[in-house]
Amino acid sequence: MTQPKIIFGATPQSDSEAVVAIAKTDENSSCVSHVENKNLASDLSKRPKIPFGEPSIIPAKSKAPKILAGGIQRQRISCDISDLKKIDPTAHIAKLLNALQLINSINLDDPYFEDIVYFGAALQKEHGVITETELAVANQSTLSKTQDILTSILKTLTQLNPEQVFLDKKESIVKNLSKLIFLKPSARQVFDKYYPILLEQLECLKTSMALLRQDSLRLKELKSRYQSLPEEIAVHLIAANFIIQYLTQLNQGNLKEHYIAQLNTLDTRTSSLLSTQASVEMALLTNEVLSNNLNCVLATAQALIDEDLPAFYSAYTAALTITQQKTSTTQATLEPLHRIYLNLIQKLQGENNE
């Protein structure tokens, strides 16, 4: 038989005494649990069976408009697709549906007629934000700096003209006397002087190109925002013209002045939206011209770095090698270098003229 544990130095008991002690403990615990259950049952009997009242059937949801506070029930503007089709017969169904949804959202019974006051204001605000961003891009000096770098590269390349560097032309006696005083540098000396300058200019060009790419991406984003405005403005104009006709025909006694005020406000907004629509069309053309200009400069600079200058360097070093091996250089020997040089100069002059 398992012996009971000795707690806090209690004297050990015999087997019979331990059995008696365990029996008394079980009897006492059963009495305590019986008393607790009795008290719990008495507490539960005092509580209500349904704490929140009798259950009731939930009524079906009404389709009628609810008036949550004091006032009058809002009157909807009577309009359908056929009415809007008369305003703009060429409009597609999606545009007419958007105009109808816009008309249904307007409350003409509002004493402050906020729907009319702020009608189309978000579109004009968006147009203002886009225009300011586009002007900021246009006024940046990144494009002009890039064009200045290309001009400086053109000037450096003219110092490496193969005909002037490699060939000895028959010149006047005065020039020949001046050469005796000031010795003409060799082709290698000219190349070693100006080609490092050209490399420094190319590094500046790469830095400027990274900024131009950012501007090009911004213009592309602005163009997508511009393109969404004409459709939205057209929807607002259809809705505005219908509401103006509706208010013109409306005559409700004491509310007549209230509707006339909204009519005048909406008429002013419609004229403003028409001006915004024309401005958006011009802004799209400006965006396209500016984007094309940026892309042309980027294409010229990228071709210069990737194709033209590496070809020019290869042909120039080859001509230098031939010059070191021969006593004189002929026009036929310099023909490949001269052709690459002229092509490079023409590209840069064309970009500079633009």
Tell me the per-residue pLDDT of 256-308, one tens digit each, with 9 for 90 and over.
Answer: 888 889 999 999 999 999 999 999 999 999 899 999 999 999 999 999 999 99
Residue 73 exposure: Cα atoms within 13 Å on the Cβ side: 5
Give the tokens for residue 40: 């719990």
Distance CA 330, CA 332 (A): 5
| Predicted pLDDT at 164 | 84
Residue 195 located in a structural domain: yes
CA distance 28 to 308: 105
C-alpha separations of 14 from 1, 8, 17, 20, 335 in Å = 11, 18, 5, 10, 125
What number is the average pLDDT over the span 312-320? 90
Domain annotation covers residue 19: no
Q: Kindly state whether residue 31 falls inside one of the protein's structural domains.
A: no
Confidence of residue 101 (pLDDT cuts 50, 70, 90): very high
Residue-wise pLDDT for 343-352, tens only, equals: 999 988 876 6
Reduced to 3 states (helix: H, G, I; strand: E, B; else coil), residue 64 is: coil
Instruction: Say how many domains are in the chain.
Output: 1
Q: Is residue 92 part of a domain?
A: yes
* Domain enclosing residue 256, as ranges: 81-298
pLDDT band at 207 (very low <50, low <70, confident <90, very high): very high
Counting residues of the chain whose pLDDT is more than 70, the rounded percentage is 71
Across 211-232, average pLDDT: 92
Is residue 208 in a domain?
yes
Q: Is residue 320 part of a domain?
A: no
Inform me whether the pLDDT recorded for 197 exceeds 80.
yes
Would residue 111 count as lying in a domain?
A: yes
Mean pLDDT over each residue of the chain, to the nearest integer: 80
pTM of the model: 0.64
Residue 192: pLDDT above 70? yes
